[in-house]
Chains A and B, each alone.
Chain A
Amino acid sequence: MTELSMTVNGVVRRAAAAPTVLLSTFLRESLKLTGTHVGCDTSQCGACTVIVDGRSIKSCTMLAVEADGAAITTIEGVAKSDGTLHPVQEAFRAHHALQCGFCTPGMVMASVALLAHTPNPTDAQVRHGLEGNMCRCTGYQNIVDAVLAASQSMKGA
């Protein structure tokens, strides 16, 4: 076991982990941040997407020990502390961009990362940017609409 320390949603968190522990497992089981979902556990579905040092990654395909010292944002960290939703979350609600909601944490994190480096994406850029995230309910159209709407609402922010 190795003692790991990382800044998660702005707070320094410490816990011990064996080398085999995945970041997704560490977040969910050691830090009790269960908003990060594990869907396929084979690096395909993107439900486990979190942001590590500014980059979206699949937390089921990164060792927790490799995130030692990193700054991590999970779905629990995107809304404001007073409960005000992030513009991406608000747009997902307004545009009915979720049905069962299982993929939504990963979709939101992927969208937040996408808009950070491409603030004014085209429809095609949104679809390319969300290629690593699967949704089995919506058919994606409303998700794309939500991300495009969020890009507009974030302009004034």
Chain B
Amino acid sequence: MDTFTFKRAASVAEAVAAATAGVDAKFLAGGQTLLPVMKQGLAAPSDLVSLARVAAMQGIGVNGGMISIGAMMRHADVAAHGEIKALLPALSVLAGGIADPHVRNRGTIGGSLANNDPAADYPAAVLGLGATVVTDRRRIAADDFFQGMFTTALEAGELITRVEFPVPERAGYIKFPHPASRYALVGVMASKSAQGVRVAVTGAGACVFRATALEQALAKSFTPGALDGVAVGADDLTSDRAGSASYRAHLITVLAKRAVARALEVRS
């Protein structure tokens, strides 16, 4: 990979300052996407700002009906966390199904969200659970955060510090993993809370999105049967050698039913 200046930040302010000072600086969280991309020559940042020692980006806190996860928490941390297992098992399941154990030991929730891969799991959790992305300068609602393929509302030098998940009444996540990469061919997070029903779909299009037809059907009755005959259009979905757009469209309803069934199995 091309050379870069390595900087280690001790605080959020230091990280943002270091990133802003660089010509083309990037934050280094777990590096599980950034380092492979740099090795391929697809990215060549001038500076890498390591976030490993930023205390404010660590830790998982539960306060009332809110779970606050530090942006540097590894997927394995989220998957194994006792209170998350008890309060929001759909999130543990999702985190424990990302990639493989070694990647889960390095990859972080903040890194995954900032990257916004079209087939990543965490965007479905954030959008499907109505989470809030907290940065060094503001709070961004899930509905405003994801803007397109590898594109988010983050400004240059803006750093995700934490992610806040409201605990829903019920939630379930099901993914149909690509057999080799374990990325979602399609993944669906369905949840029900006082704010309503949310169904978020990853893997199927250029960016995670809410399946409004499914949400409307589930708002009447949060049961798998409510989705009988409810189809999702294939027009804007992805076609590749792993599956056509119409195949993915079909999978969305199938997986949404399973996600609702799982949500009803366990209190979440």
- By a beta-carbon cutoff of 8 Å, the part of chain A in contact with chain B is 2, 18-20, 22, 41-43, 46, 49, 55-58, 61-63, 65-66, 110, 113-114, 129, 131-133
Interface residues of A: mostly helix, strand, loop or mixed? mixed
Other contacts beyond A66-B28, A110-B102: 9, CB < 8 A: A20-B1, A56-B102, A58-B102, A61-B103, A61-B106, A63-B6, A63-B48, A65-B50, A66-B52
Nearest Cβ in chain A — how far from B25, in angstroms? 13
In the assembled complex, the CB of B153 is this many whole angstroms from the nearest CB of chain A, namely 28
Contact across chains for B35 and A18 when beta carbons are under 8 A apart: no
Query: Is A19 a contact of B6 with CB atoms below 8 Å?
Result: yes
Q: How far is the CA of A49 from the CA of B102 in the complex (A)?
A: 8
A113 CB → nearest B CB, Å: 7
* Residues of chain A contacted by B102 (CB below 8 angstroms): 46, 49, 56-58, 110, 132
Q: A131 — which chain B residues lie within 8 A by C-beta?
A: 100-101, 182
Q: Report yes or no: B32 in contact with A43, Cβ–Cβ below 8 A.
A: yes
Query: What is the minimal beta-carbon distance from B94 to any residue of chain A, in angstroms?
Result: 15
Q: Bound state CA distance, A46 and B48, in angstroms?
A: 25
Do B101 and A58 have beta carbons less than 8 Å apart? no
Query: A19 CA to B74 CA in the complex, in Å?
Result: 22
Instruction: Say yes or no: A62-B100 contact (C-beta < 8 A), given A19-B3, A56-B105.
Output: no
Q: Find out whether the CB atom of B105 lies under 8 angstroms from the CB atom of A42.
A: no
CB nearest neighbor in A for B32: A61
Determine if B31 and A61 form an interchain contact, defined as CB atoms under 8 angstroms apart: yes
B178: interface (CB < 8 Å): no
